[in-house]
């Protein structure tokens, strides 16, 4: 699995809260955001069915939701 880099603009207050939570849970802010996103995707999949991603040479991704 490769890592994708992207910019994320968030409110300064939310940023400060994420830093605080990350410190309390022993993570970096980046790892905390990744953890939150993984938990959301896991919950989404449990609620809405499996999510499959078919990539064609990493240039075009097709996302399918199976209910």
Per the structure, how many domains does the chain have?
Answer: 1
For 24-54, write each residue's pLDDT tens digit: 999 999 999 999 999 999 999 999 988 888 7
DSSP 26: T
Instruction: Determine the structural domain holding residue 17 and report its residue range.
Output: 12-66
In a domain, 56, yes or no: yes
In a domain, 5, yes or no: no
CB 40 within 8 A of CB 48: no
For 12-28, write each residue's pLDDT tens digit: 999 999 999 999 999 99
Does the pTM of the predicted model rise above 0.85?
no
Q: Which residues of 38-51 are buried (b: 16+ CB within 10 A; e: fewer)?
A: eeeeeeeeeeeeee
In a domain, 51, yes or no: yes
In a domain, 50, yes or no: yes
In a domain, 4, yes or no: no
In a domain, 38, yes or no: yes
In a domain, 54, yes or no: yes
If we measure between CA atoms, which residue out of 64, 42, 44, 45 comes closest to residue 53? Answer: 64
């Amino acid at each position: 699995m490769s890592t994708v880099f992207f910019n994320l603009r968030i409110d300064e207050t939310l940023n400060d809260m994420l830093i605080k939570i990350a410190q309390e849970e022993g993570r970096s802010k980046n790892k905390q955001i990744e953890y939150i996103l993984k938990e959301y995707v896991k919950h989404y999949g449990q609620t809405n069915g499996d999510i499959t991603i078919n990539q064609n040479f990493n240039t075009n991704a097709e996302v399918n939701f199976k209910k």
